[in-house]
Amino acid sequence: MASGAKYRPQRWRREARGLEDSFSKLNIEGESHAEADAKARARRERFSQPAKKEEYGLISRGEDNRLRVDSKARRTYFYQTQLRALKIIAASTSQRQYIEDVLKIVDHEVSDSYQAVDTNGRHQSSDTDSEDSVLMSLRKLREALLPIEPDKFTKQVFLFSVRMAVLAGKYQAFIPSVLYILDVIHPVVPLSFDEFRQVALLHVYHTAHFSNDVGTAYKTLYHYLPDDKRAWTVLQALASNNFVSWVQQKRTEPDLWLRLSLDQNHATMAKNAIPTISKSYMKLHESSIERLLGLDWNTLTSNPNIGCVWPKDSTGTATIRQRKTQS
C-alpha cells in the first residue's frame, strides 16, 4: 500500500498532463477550424463585391514605376488580373468552355476565391473590363519584371500571359513573351517538359503558319524538339497542303493552348483544301464536307476568308461542280 501511495500522485500527474494535452489539442484544432471558416467567409465577402482594380501605367512610356520597385504590389496585381481573366472568360459565350482549363493554371488562392463565390451573376465581368485590358495588365507586369532576375513568379506571369494571348487570338502579344521565356527565363528557372514543349511549339507553329516560313519553322523545331513526331507531321502537312493530315494532328493534340493556336489557322487551311475537293467531287452532303474540312457548314459559308460558296439543296446536298452538258 505504501508503494501504491508513493506512485499514485505521479500517475495522477501523468494522467492530468495527458488530459491537459488532449484539451489543448482540441482547443488548437477548434481554433484552426474557426480560423479556416473565418478566412472562407472573409474571402466570399471580399469577392462578392466588385474588385477594386489598382491602376498602373506602363514603365516603357515613363508613366509609372511602382510595379518595378514593389514586389508585393506585383503579386497583388497579378492576383487581381488572374481573377479578372476568369470572370471575363466565364462571361464569354465562346470562351467559357475553357474555364476549367484556366482554373488549373491560375494561383490556387485565385482558383479557391473564384470557386468560393456563388454563381448568381457575381462572376460577370464589369462593362469596362475586357480581354484587351487583361492583356494590358499582364504587359505592365512583364515590363516591371524585365530588369529583375527571373524567378518562379516571373515564369508564372509570362506563361499566363502567353496562354491568355493565345486564348484571345492575339499573337502580337504572345510571341515576345514566348521568346523571352525560351531565351531568358528557361535557362534560369527551368520549365517542365510540357511547359517547354508548349512554348517552343507555339514559336514553331507561329513561324510556319503566320509568318509563312516553313523552312525556319523546321529549323526551330529541330533546335528545340527534334523528336516531336506530331510537330514534324504538322509541318509536313502544311508544306504539302495535306489538309486531312493537318486536321487530324490538330484534333489529337493533347495541349489545349497548341490546339487553340492551330485553330487560328484552320480557316486558311480549309480555304487551301477547297480546290482539291472541287476537283474530286461533283456533289457532297454538307455533313461530309464538314467532316472533311473540320468546320461546320455555317462557318464554312459565312467566313469570307474560306470562300465556300457551294449551293445546297433542301436535302443538305451541296453542288460542288456543275456537270458539263454536251451540246
Question: Residue ranges of the domains in the chain?
Answer: 271-319
Q: How far apart are CA 221 and CA 205, in angstroms?
A: 9
**Helical (H) or strand (E) element with 284:** strand 283-285
Q: Average per-residue pLDDT in the chain? A: 82
Angle between helices 193-209 and 256-263 (to 10 degrees): 10
Q: How many residues does the chain have?
A: 327
- Tens digit of each residue's pLDDT (9 = 90 or more) over 114-167: 877 645 445 555 555 788 999 999 999 999 999 999 999 999 999 999 999 999
- What would you report as the CA-atom Rg of the chain, rounded to the nearest whole angstrom? 29
Contact between residue 161 and residue 173 where contact means Cβ atoms under 8 Å apart: yes
Q: What is the pLDDT of residue 1?
A: 47
Rounded to the nearest angstrom, the gap between the alpha carbon of residue 216 and the centroid of all alpha carbons in its chain is 26
Query: Taking the model in full, what pTM does it have?
Result: 0.76
Q: What is the pLDDT of residue 313?
A: 87
Sign of the C-alpha dihedral computed for residues 296, 299, 305 and 308 taken in this order: positive
252, pLDDT greater than 80: yes
301, pLDDT greater than 60: yes
Q: How far apart are CA 274 and CA 241, in angstroms?
A: 11
Region for residue 95 given its phi and psi (left: phi exceeds 0; alpha: psi -120 to 50; beta: otherwise): alpha
DSSP, residue by residue, 77-135: HHHHHHHHHHHHHHH-TTTGGGHHHHHTTS-HHHHHHHHHS--SSTTPPPTT--HHHHH
